[in-house]
Amino acid sequence: MDPITLDGVGFAFPGLQPLLRDVNLKVGEGEVVALVGPTGCGKSTLLHICAGVIPHFITGELTGEVHIFGTNTKETSLARIAADIGTVTQDPENQLFNLIVADEIAWGMENRGFERAEIRRGLDGALEFFRIPHLRDRITYDLSGGEKQRVVLSANYAPAPRLFILDDPTSQLDPIGAQQVLTGIQALAESGHTILVVESKLEEIWSLVDRVLLLHNGTIELDAPRAELDRHLDAFIEANVPLPQLVELGARLRERGVSVPALPPDPDGAAALLDGVRVTAAPAHEPAVPSGKPPRVVVDNISYTYPPPRRTEALKEIRLEVPAGAVLGVVGQNGSGKTTLARCLSGHLKPTSGAVRIDGKDVRRMSVRNRAATVGYVFQNPDHQIFKDPVVEDVIYGPMNLGATRPEATRTAERVLRALDLWDVRDVHPFRLSKGGRQRLAIAAIAVMQPPVMIIDEPTTGQDLQESHAIMSLLVDLAREVGQTVIVITHAMHLVAEHCDLMAALCEGRLIAFGPPDQVFRDEELLRRTYVKPPAVTALGNRLGMEPRPLTLEDALERLAGPSLKVAEA
């Protein structure tokens, strides 16, 4: 029997319009199938249906037939369905139940009634399979995000399920953690397991995937083998779902009549196919912020050491200057010092040595009120700073607290809320919004006050491509129009390349690179120390010697679509 068979499946949450309709799907034994689609299209809901969570745990109107290994999910128990399935969600915290790693991995087998010897073999096998025997006796909540997610994978692997359902398991991880988890998924795929996965980093699992499903407008609009995706570019563009940059680049070059083979997502492979081509010259990237502008933010040789009991030297002699009107991207692996630097910039932490000055004033010598008016800070978890109901009240609270009248605050709020696609939900309770919606709300509540400096920690977490660019475009507009200095902490290198004037790369508390993205992205070996990769088109430019380096897909397309470019079919 096929692991998954869906026949005419639809689903609606109570009191709402159907989210899914007429979904038909078969996943065969040993297949690896990726599910992609815009934010809110129902990807997680579809996975819940395949896992039996709907209808047995999440209620609503489920129509059509769902068979898992030939069994109708409506006619059996969730416990029976779960015996054949390993399910991993976005947030590992939601799936950890035990204090010690070994207990966590054994727990599922114990609940299924495995014999003691079987539990021991399953535990040892899972630890070895995911290469984490060194974590066996660790406390689960002391692990990094990537380690936690690998433990969750191991706990699902140990009872030997026949099907794995993975819901964007790397979305909340830093580059190191994401790579650790992707390595685990690769091991599952290579061992012949059936996998249905939602994964935003499609290029990272490109070589593992047999088919890709595009979920849009409530149904599966495209079901195609990986090698044929570049023939369906229009469908992905309409759904605002990105293909890997270089795969799309090859498709769009062919649309312009350029004879190129299908390009793989990795820069080395693509460069080999384009080796020797003539690249159209382009003017150097013009800085959006004049270089002669005086610095607004001066970081003067700051260091910071967290106090005992876990004494940690988090920042080491950081020096940088950022002018007014500039957007700075701060990048680096988790633990590199990004958030500590941001908290020193905002005055939440006092540097152990050195100083942070904004417009010549030491941040730590400002009053709390002046600091709040000078530096706006958006935390990584938006729920930590949302406190008014409805949405519009949360946004106008800040400017009114600083002296604006309600009509003035509302006019400014409307512009920001419209830019972030929140105006239509202005009268909704904030916690009825999705996580991505709450993230945009937290940004709106700070942006509306127009502080001279604005710091945003991971502003595009949980956002689709369109929403991510809308957020960054708003931040760039604020920097240009109001003269704000915007500092963004992010792992999204394509957003840094397209929207940031400067970037700072941190590694183990030190600043290892600082300057325009065009320059910083050239030294891939240096950036590799902090697990940062340039966007694929920029890395391709590095290999082809393009001057200046392309920072966006459009830039690379214009440079490579010259009339004389002809590459023989591979």
**Is the per-residue pLDDT at 172 higher than 90?**
no
Res. 471: pLDDT tops 70:
yes
Class for domain 1-84+164-243, per CATH? alpha beta
* Rounded percentage of the chain residues whose pLDDT exceeds 70: 97
Q: What is the pLDDT of residues 125-138, one digit of tens each?
A: 999 999 899 999 99
Which pLDDT does position 174 carry in this prediction? 73
Furthest CA-CA distance within the chain: 73
Q: Is the confidence at residue 527, as pLDDT, over 50?
A: yes
pLDDT, one tens digit per residue, over 1-26 is: 899 999 999 999 999 899 999 999 99
pLDDT category at 566 given cuts 50, 70, 90 is very low
Tell me the C-alpha distance between 12 and 19, whole Å. Answer: 5
Mean pLDDT for the stretch of residues 67-75: 95
Q: Which two tokens stand for residue 40?
A: 């809110």
| Torsion, Cα of 152, 171, 161, 137 (10° steps) | -10
At residue 563 the predicted structure's pLDDT band, cuts being 50, 70 and 90, is very low
Task: List, in sequence order, every residue forming a beta bridge with 302; answer none if it has no partner.
Answer: 318
Task: Inform me whether the pLDDT recorded for 546 exceeds 60.
Answer: yes
Question: Hey, where are the domains in the chain?
Answer: 1-84+164-243, 91-161, 322-515
DSSP state of 100: B
* pLDDT in the model for residue 556: 93
Fold match between domain 1-84+164-243 and domain 322-515: yes
Average pLDDT over residues 207-218: 94
pLDDT (0 to 100) of residue 369: 85
pLDDT tens digit string along 489-516? 998 899 999 999 999 999 999 999 999 9
pLDDT at residue 462, rounded to an integer? 65
Span 330-338, average pLDDT = 89
- SS3 of residue 88 by DSSP: strand
Q: How many residues does the chain have?
A: 570
In CATH terms, the fold of domain 322-515 is Rossmann fold (3.40.50)
Q: Which contacts of 50-55 are long-range, i.e. CB under 8 A and separated by 24 or more positions?
A: 50/4, 50/6, 50/165, 50/196, 51/81, 51/82, 51/85, 51/87, 51/165, 52/76, 52/78, 52/81, 52/82, 52/85, 53/78, 53/87, 54/11
How confident is the model over 177-191, as pLDDT tens digits? 778 888 889 999 999
Question: Residue 562: its pLDDT value, please?
Answer: 64
Is the separation of the CB atoms in 224 and 230 below 8 Å? no
291 — pLDDT class (breaks 50, 70, 90) = low
Average pLDDT over residues 256-261: 85
Residue, of 244 and 276, whose pLDDT is higher: 244
User: Looking at the predicted structure, is the pLDDT value of residue 258 above 90?
Assistant: no
- Chain mean pLDDT for the chain: 90
Residue 569 has pLDDT above 60, yes or no: no
Nearest-angstrom CA–CA distance, 190 and 130: 13
CA-angle at 174, arms to 327 and 250, nearest 5°: 75
The pTM is what?
0.85
Least confident of 177-181, 303-307, 451-455, 469-473: 177-181
Q: Give the pLDDT mean for 75-93.
A: 91
Each residue's pLDDT tens digit, 371-426: 988 999 998 788 888 999 999 999 999 999 888 999 999 999 999 999 888 999 99
Instruction: Name the β-bridge partners of 323.
Output: 295
